Amino acid sequence: MATELKGITPAGWKRGGGYQHAMVVENCSRIAYISGQVEGSGGRPAAAFSKDMASQFASALANFKTVVEATGGTVRDITSMTIYVTDGESYRANQKAIGESWRRELGDVYPAVTLVGVTELFNVGAKVEIEGTVALG
């Protein structure tokens, strides 16, 4: 049987805007846990990070998608993501560009998502890091 993913919205609740409240995975025998991805290329952090949140988000999300595909999965197999940002105000100010990056990389895929504001990330200059879980079937 193929893996089935189902978004869950509790009775009486409004569906999340750009995310699911929960994801149920059925018929899954393999799960991939994707490490935090930041701006950069070839699996290496950027030598000099972009100054703007939207550029860093776009690169980190593209890297996340690359790792998902390397596991044998597709964006449709993503069950959850955690997005860490060092500047919530900048993230909110760049929501339109961030949304465009999301649609370009993930289309209409909206897994369970948590956005976390942190004071800093390990890589100096990084403003965003994205990790997640993928149900491979």
**Per-residue model confidence as pLDDT tens digits over 39-87:** 998 888 998 999 999 999 999 999 999 999 999 899 999 999 999 999 9
Q: Does 3 score more than 80 pLDDT? A: no
Q: For the chain, give the mean pLDDT.
A: 91
- Residue 38: predicted pLDDT: 96
Segment 89-96 shows an average pLDDT of 97
What are the start-end ranges of the H helices in the chain?
A: 53-70, 88-93, 95-106
Angle between helices 95-106 and 53-70 (to 10 degrees): 20
Residues contacting residue 31 through CB under 8 Å, at least 6 positions apart: 25, 133, 134, 135, 136
4 pLDDT above the threshold of 90: no
